[in-house]
Structure 1
Amino acid sequence: MVTVFYDSMCPLCVKEMRKLSRWDSEGALNLVDIHQADFSDRFPDVDPSAANRILHAQDHNGKMVYGLDATYVAWHAVGKGVWVSWLRWPMIAWFADKTYLFFARHRYRISALLTGQARCQQCQII
């Protein structure tokens, strides 16, 4: 099982989690909202502030991965890893990681441009 810690106040983030959830026919993902009231109690080893800055995931071996590595692990878990695997290629990974960090830092503005909604009060996946 792969656990993905996502920002439920980000419309684009929730949209991606919806897609992953639809593709997850094997139950390979555990999608966890970092804004849940009991988040820190349930996941004391995950800093919610850090998880709000950059995507966090725990792979099936229990290893924490971050950013596009977290994205790859999640997409791979639902059988779509090939769609994002090129983002981890050595000659592309550095640029992709920098682009991801820019996106993560400005995701609310980007969400507003693409969806018309900058934030939501804990958008629902389902």
Structure 2
Amino acid sequence: MKIIVFYDDLCPICRTEMHAFAWQYPNEIELVALSTESERLQHYGIRTEDALMALRVVDELGHIHQGLDAVRLLYRRFGKQRLAQLSMLPLLKPVLEWAYPVFVHHRHRVPVWLLGKNARLHCAQGYCRCDLNEKLQHIRSLKH
């Protein structure tokens, strides 16, 4: 059974990383794009707003992992065990736990040149300026 990843496909950072996992492990991961499939969140009792603010992963047992725990799960499963282990170090873990929501909230301000070629195709004027409210409006407009 595949794990299910609810990800922000309007975010070049999120899209690039999740597609890399899916490309390498196609039989083990199912990507669910929030902009087009957010209704699937309801089955797990997850609000779209919450899924946009922290990655959500449903494991094979149906357990929901969110935020940095979801990232660690993906890293442990898909070839980045060292990063998962590093993120659990006593001095690093609290810093990352604090930084993750801050980064997620401001990810649309990350300069495109840091994101690579794929992101440049989807962002204009040097930044990806689609914030949470804009994404929610876009997702809701697709449903009507």
Q: What is the TM-score when the length of structure 2 is the normalising length?
A: 0.71
Q: Which has the higher contact order (CA 8 A, sep 6+)?
A: 1
CA distance in 1, matches of 2:24, 2:111: 22
Among the aligned pairs, what percent are the same residue? Answer: 26
Deviation at 1:84, TM superposition (A): 2.7
CA contact (8 A) 1:6 1:56 kept: yes
More helix as a share of residues: 2
Per the alignment, in what secondary structure is the counterpart of residue 100 of structure 1? helix
Ranges of 4+ aligned residues in structure 1 off by more than 4 Å: 119-122
Question: Unpaired runs of 5+ in structure 1?
Answer: none
CA contact (8 A) 1:29 1:74 kept: no
- What one-letter code is carried by the residue in structure 2 that aligns with 1:83? L
Alignment match, 2:38: 39
Q: Cα 1:111–1:53, aligned 2, differ >3 Å: closer, same or farther? A: farther
Q: What is the TM-score when the length of structure 1 is the normalising length?
A: 0.80
Per the alignment, in what secondary structure is the counterpart of residue 103 of structure 1? helix
Question: Unpaired runs of 5+ in structure 2?
Answer: 139-144
Within 5 Å, give how 1:62-73 maps onto structure 2: 62-73=62-73
CA distance in 1, matches of 2:34, 2:111: 18
Deviation at 1:91, TM superposition (A): 3.1
Alignment match, 2:84: 84
Larger radius of gyration: 2
- Stretch of structure 1 that moved more, 10-19 or 112-121: 112-121
CA distance in 2, matches of 1:54, 1:79: 21
